[in-house]
Amino acid sequence: MPSIRWFPVALLGSLILSAPLVWAEITEAQEKPALPDALRAPQEPSQVPEADFDQARRLLQQGKYDEALSALHELEEKNPAKKGLAHELGVAYYRKSDFVNAIVYLKKAREQDPEDREAEQLLGLSYYLTERPAEAIPELEKVQTWYPSANVDAAYILGICYIQTKDYPNARKAFARMFDVPPESAASYLFTARMLLRQDFAPVAEEYAHKAMVLDPKLPLAHQLLGEVYLYHSQIEEAIREFRKELEINPGNAAGYYKLADSYSRVQKYDEAERLLQRSIWLDATSTGPYILLGKVLAKKGETELAVRALQRALAMDPNNPMPHHLLGQAYRELGKNEDADRELKLAGQLELRKNARP
């Protein structure tokens, strides 16, 4: 059996959603997304030498999952023990995102053929996607032994499973492997702290961030991550202290200025926040967060026309983000442009509904 292909998981966090750390960091609203590439079954059929599966495989390639499953179940009624049938059904259910049924057939396929690596991988992913990380770990650990250097995606998913089962040392080893750094290095603790924070394990993330700084006091982004932990818990003064330390180490860090500005805005120090946001934008004009926060800060200062310009800039970059639409609607209302305000507020509501409807 060929192994499944693994793809980059830069957006896998969208599947494994982190708690937002700053009010302005709103993700782009979309229609219901397809399964991320890293978790997809292979598009090309496995090479089971059975012509009876050809029709079902063609239907799968066309995205006709129910029809493919119907064809496979017809074969199952005629010959339940047919070689390769459990594998085909497991893959079909996985492709349909019916992971509960995928598990049933993938387990059967693995029992019938212990060398079925594709079934092994998809079984681990199916356990993961049905929130059964403890059962996913043994399967995904086997994947690591097959492809110890190339399987970055497997390392990521395995690391998340370790976090979910509170096995933090093994999570750190998985992420160290993923980023090709020593497991006991400051970088491995920092990477793991970031993943822990995304999984809403803030206390452990704080511990790991401190450990990273003990190992390397000048490590970039360590103070920033710790500041995010404090900001997450509304410990504003502590967050400000850490963000300032980060900028002492890394003064060219645009995100550091943005996060420090967010902290100041929360204690109504709007002049300081505006000054820092301008620095962030000068360093990186491609991020929407600083423009959105700048729009809010300027509105709070009574500079509504300037706030409108900042929010329009954010929307030019990210038109499906409900937050700038909402803030722009409020700004238009303040300027007496009620028709424009109604339009923006209505659109913000629609985009928010679409965002909340996503699984």
Q: What is the pLDDT of residues 78-120, one digit of tens each?
A: 888 889 999 999 999 999 999 999 999 999 999 999 989 889 9
Return the pLDDT at 24.
36
> Full-prediction pTM beyond 0.85?
no
Distance CA 125, CA 37 (A): 12
Return the pLDDT at 149.
52
Return the pLDDT at 35.
54
Return the pLDDT at 36.
52
Residues of the chain with pLDDT under 70: 1-51, 147-152, 358-359
**CATH class label, 1-25+36-135:** mainly alpha
